[in-house]
Structures are given as structure tokens and as C-alpha cells.
Structure 1
Amino acid sequence: MGSCKQEDRRDHDEFNCLFVPGPIIVGAGPSGLAVAACLQQHGVSSLILERSDCIASLWQQRTYDRLKLHLPKQFCQLPLLNFPHYFPKYPTKRQFVSYMESYAKHFSIHPKFRQSVLRAEFDALTGLWTVQTQDSHFFSRWLIVATGENAEPVIPEIQGIHRFRGPVLHTSVYKSGSEFEKQRVLVVGCGNSGMEVSLDLCRHNASPHMIVRNSVHILPREMFGVSTFSIAMLLIKWLPLRLVDKFLLLVANFTLGNTDKLGLRRPKTGPIELKNATGKTPVLDVGALSQIKAGKIKVVEGVKEITKNGAKFVDGQEREFDSIILATGYKSNVPTWLKIFELSFSSQGTDFFTQDGMPKPAFPMVGRERMDCMRWGSREEASLGHHRTHGISPETLLINGG
């Protein structure tokens, strides 16, 4: 390893072999920035590798214009630096990006951009991680994965979609409903993105038809003037999870009505229990449900196949559309490049991930070979704690958040 150079003395060679004295952090999203800041507060330097050309690339490059935080700002601010006091309760996309840029500047965090990690592998003999990008090899004792669950868009296989004459796009490239004014738009998916895109289309005089393929929990964003998330977090401290779910559903049915009658069937498992078990997030309604009730957003059960000019549905109906938007979510890409010791990738994934990149075990957890997995839950939990900073242990920290 003698030919490797300290990261802060690297030359810009065509190919570099670099030793990093502190942890390597993969991902310059909110979690990556938060980890770097917390480590810095304990005197630990780090290096962030980011595949795009900016911090928080998901927010800057792959979100629609009308996006706001679904949760109150106090639950979304990063550790050690609050949102500006003048930000609204639910900051906009631009405000959140501005906050993260200010955060990076405040803590002098300078990620290495355009560094796409191709492979990360641990060498038990040297006790070092080798992280390979397109033009460099980085070596460090510690690896922190902070790429989140939304690295790659999920593109479903739908029969006949290649025959469709109009545009087909994923919500990762959707910006505004103004581009679809007076169009008939088929929206595939009814999660938070599907609901918000349908609402945005509706407000720009388009005619959205939203495909609901699976059951879905819809909750009001606020209950009694307080955010639903705040209420849930408070109740979880004192009540069993199932009782909290029952309360949330009781209030949701009272305020929103029976969503089953609108073609939006609820899962049998409660919203929080389902989120913990599968990672599936409940929809927080920001106005789409009223448009569904008014008939301005059409709910359709499922698509059988796509035709040249539209779609055939499972109920036998056929309709014409001008555009198709895939609100089918994202997946993690970590299993494609993180080589976890002797673990092999099977049809079931690894000990830590399912095949689509979702974490298998409940968080937080510690796995074999000193691998640790955690999910940001609050600013206090995000402070990493002395056992994760002073000792910089374990060798691998997987952050389940982007």
C-alpha cells in the first residue's frame, strides 16, 4: 500500500490510489452530510464520495417543482444546525436544498463529486475497505453507506408499454403539470408521488387517471391541527404499535371517510407496523383525496396492457391517453456494489438486503463482521453517539436514509 497517497495530498492523476485516514462516506444527501458533521464535531475527518455533481442530488435533480416536506421541519432538520426560523412548517423543495447547501458550507463539508462507486470490498488481512470509483481506488478502515433507499428509479414491466406512441416518463424526471395541460395522463402508482403528481396534473387542467395496483394507507397530513407524524411519534412512546395504528386509522376514517369506496383499499396491517415491516410509507394527503372525491382524479384498478394510443384495464375497459407517468418509486443500489464479505447474492438478496435493496432486519441492528445498520429517526439518534464516533466502530455503518 506504499504507493497510495494521503487523500489531502492527492495529485490529479489519470488514475489514483488514495488512503483516507478517516471514514469514507458514500452519498452526499442529508444523511451523508449529517454523519460528516457529527464526526467532525468529535474531531474525526471524513471523505464523502458523491456520484452526481451536487449535494442532495435526489432533491435537486429528481423531484417535481411543487414538492414540500411531508413532515414538519423539526423532524427533518439535520443535527447541530436548525432550519432558519422563518421557514414555514413544511419547507419547499428549494428551501430544503438551500438549507442543505448552507449546512455543508457551515461545517466546511466538501464532497468529491462525480465519483460513482462501482465496488466496495473489505480486506480482512489488511483491515481496510477498498472503494473503487470510475477513476480511483480509496482505502479506509471505515465505510459509511448513506445512499438511502431512493438511488435508482423502479421501472415496472408493463405489457405493451413499448408500443405506446406518447411520452413515457418516471416521476424522477417529472417537473410540473404545466407540460401536460389538457392532456389525458395515465399515472401508474398511488403512493405519495403518484398522489401528488396526479394533484399537480389536475391543477394544470390535465385529466389524470391513477392506477391503484395494491392496497394503500392514506392518512391526513394533520390531525386536530397537529401533524399526524408528531401524534404518532408521541403515542409510540406510551402505547403498543397496534394501538397507535388503530387510533390513526380511526381518526383517518373520521376525517377522510372510507377510502375503500374510492377504490383505495387499506392494507390489513396498520400503517406504522407496515412501514416497519416492509418500508412502505403511508400516503399523507395534501389535497389529492378531495380531487378524487370530486371526480377530477380518476382511480382505475389495474392495467392489463398498454396499447398504441392508451391502455386496456383489468375490468375490460379501454381508454386513450396522451402521456404515461410512472410513479413507481425507487430502490437502493447498494447490493450491486457493496460486497459484504463472504455473503453471496441469492434470489432472496443478502443477510442485510432484499433483492430490491430494502433492508431485511429491523433497524437498528448489528450484523456479522462488525457491520452496523441504522435508520435516522430523530436528531438525537442522528448524533451518532460516542460509541460510533470516538471509537469509530464498527467498520461499516449503513444509514437507511438518503
Structure 2
Amino acid sequence: MTRRADVVVIGGGQAGLAAGYHLRRLGIDFVVLDARPAPGGAWQHTWDSLRLFSPAAYSSLPGRLMPAQEGQTCPDAAHVVAYLVDYEKRYGLPVQHGVRVDAVHDEGTLLRVGTDSGTWRARTVVSATGTWTRPFVPAVEGRREFAGRQLHTVQYKDPAAFAGQRVVVVGGGNSGAQIAADLTGHAQVTWATRRPPRYLADDIDGRVLFDTATARRRALDEGRTDTGGVAFLGDIVAVPPVRAARDAGLLAARPMFTRLTATGAQWADGSQQDVDAVIWCTGFRPALAHLAGLRLRAARGHIATDGTRATDDPRLHFLGYGDWTGPASATLIGVGRTAREAAREIRDLLA
């Protein structure tokens, strides 16, 4: 069966919902196709102790403030999921859950969107698939030899499964620091990072990060000196659990090990450590396999863009992949602005 819409949005997480909000306001015909069976995006699959960096009011999608969570300054992931479920319902967004997009192809004036439940034809496509489904693990020597358990951030849920074990957490970003802190008191934790951890000042939260990213983008757009953005401030937001573990001396990072052995890890100085599990908190790549058939120019996994629009095909927009597609666009508070700009460009193209 083939169906038609002016715009097909691929992905029903926070970026897809923000796109839907602005497309609806502009009176544009669209549908949102989401591979997950239920609303809530990737927030449904995070670890149990995860908290937002900011209070609820500063973590909202366009049009609807996130309500505060009772007893929490910064809401947890379950609260975010409930907010996204309500957001989708409140605005009556046409999201079809459980529909996986396999490929997008060029058919001249239209784009053909093939799914596991039929075909759509659209005048424009918004890709909002994020990165959660493409976890990245570096090619470390000995990974296949290691007999213990290996998992990525996406598979970590809580410390109970590691009680009493020797665990190496790899990665000097927020997920590495938060998961290492979560495990302290439950497991023997070694935190391995490629460079010494860089904490942001304790009073910096998501509001400051968004403002900093926006100021950097404005400076670049106006031809002024690059401010360095969020990367200039540091890599790790000192959320309360991380701050507590750090101040208690429980987050002392070691340099990255050089290889894994059958029983553990080995460092450059020859020292070795027996390990039961390795948790790779080593980031993600954009989930863009569905666009391979368009054969667009890409560098390091990022398709060339002008703002959110694909440079080589103005019918295609990208939302929610990080600074590549707009300042802080991978955040709840940041994606609304780029979604609004993309919707306006789509309106003009359709006209």
C-alpha cells in the first residue's frame, strides 16, 4: 500500500515531536513514523538513575512547559517519557508507532519512503532518528579476547547487576561519569578516560549549556571569533551524584588502557587488572542508514547541510543530531528553535 503526505518525519522522539508541533502550526500536511512501539523516544531506554541537567521548566519542547516532578529539582527519565507521551497526545500529532523506515529513495519530484508496513511518498522528509540506536565502541586491541561482560551505555540499567564485581567504565563524558558514580558503593570501579576529566563549574546546568551553544552559533554565523562553545567549558556536568562521588574521592580516573586481555585490562606501563565487566560510555554516531540510497555527500558520518537542510537535496532536513544540525539540537530545550526554522523552510519550499 502506498500513501502520500507533503512531509514525512522519520523518528517520533523529542526532535520529531518538535518538528510536528511547528509543521502543525503552519498547516502543513505531515506524518511522523516512529520505529518504537510506544511514545517517549530514547528516554524509555536510559539507565534508572539518569536525571536531566536542568529544572523541568528549562527542559521543555515548544508550546508546552514540562511540569515539575515532585521531590526532584531535575526530573528523571520516567518523568520525561510521561511528558513526551502527554505532548504527543495534547497536540494530536499524527505519529505512527511501530513503523520502521528501511530506506528513502529519490523519485524525481517526490521522495519514496519505504517502511516495514508500506510505502509513503512525500515532497519533503525530516530525518529525526537521533543517535541512540548507533552506539559507538572503539576498536581496542583484545576486545574479542576478553572473556568478561561488555556492554555499552545503551545497555546499562542499574548497579544491581554488577554488585561485588570489578568493573571498568570507559569514557570521560557525562555518561561515563554518571555511570561510574552510579556504580560506586556497589562494585569495584575503575574509570578509564583518554584525558583527565574536565568538570564544568558546579553551578552550570542545561540552561547555561544551551545559552553557550547558541552564542557560539551566533558568533560563527556573524563571522566573529569562535567562542569554543560548550567544549570550552568542559566535558562533564557536575550533577549531584557525580559531584558527591567526585568530592568523596570515588571518581579518580585512570588513563585509558592500551588493550584488553582474556581476564582484564592492561595499561601502557605494563600494569594489569582483572576485570569482570567493561562498560563502554564512548558515544554514538548518527543513525542515518535509511538515507544511504540518496547517495548524499558525507564527512565523518555527517551529511553536508546548510542549517538543517541537506546541501545536495533541499527536500531533506535533519533535526536533533547535535550541533551539526543546530546549537544544542540534541536537547529538549534546544531542538525547538531548529525545528521551527526547518518547518519554515519546508513551508517555503512547498509553496
Q: Give the TM-score band, short-chain normalised.
A: 0.7 to 0.9
The aligned counterpart of 2:177 is: 195
Please show how residues 1-400 of structure 1 align to structure 2 within 5 Å: 16=1, 18-61=2-45, 63-85=46-68, 88-124=72-108, 127-202=109-184, 204-214=185-195, 217-223=198-204, 228-229=208-209, 232=212, 270-272=228-230, 282-286=235-239, 287-288=241-242, 291-292=245-246, 294-334=248-288, 336-339=289-292, 341=294, 343=296, 350=297, 353-355=298-300, 357-358=301-302, 363-364=307-308, 367-370=311-314, 371-373=316-318, 374-375=325-326, 376=329, 377=334, 379-384=336-341, 387-388=344-345, 390-391=347-348, 393=350
Segments of 5+ residues of structure 1 without an aligned counterpart are: 1-15, 246-269, 276-280, 344-349, 395-402
Secondary structure at the aligned position of 2:168 is classed as strand
Query: Identity of paired residues, percent?
Result: 23
- Deviation track 1:201-251 (CA, whole Å, cap 9, x = no partner) reads 01x43221111124664313524x995426636866998999995xxxxxx
**Distance change in 2, residues 1:217/1:20 (3 Å):** farther
Measure how far apart 1:72 and its partner are.
4.0
Residue 314 of structure 1 aligns with an amino acid whose one-letter code is A
Q: Distance in 1 between matches of 2:90 and 2:47?
A: 27
RMSD: 3.3
**Distance change in 2, residues 1:236/1:308 (3 Å):** closer
**Distance change in 2, residues 1:134/1:230 (3 Å):** closer
Paired residues, number: 334
Segments of 5+ residues of structure 2 without an aligned counterpart are: 319-324
Measure how far apart 1:39 and its partner are.
1.4
The answer (yes or no) to whether the contact 1:149–1:332 under 8 Å persists in 2 is: yes
Measure how far apart 1:77 and its partner are.
0.8
The answer (yes or no) to whether the contact 2:41–2:81 under 8 Å persists in 1 is: no
- Deviation track 1:362-387 (CA, whole Å, cap 9, x = no partner) reads 74566233245543336444334773
Q: TM-score, normalised by structure 2?
A: 0.82
The answer (yes or no) to whether the contact 1:221–1:228 under 8 Å persists in 2 is: no
Measure how far apart 1:102 and its partner are.
0.3
The answer (yes or no) to whether the contact 1:129–1:143 under 8 Å persists in 2 is: yes
Q: TM-score, normalised by structure 1?
A: 0.72
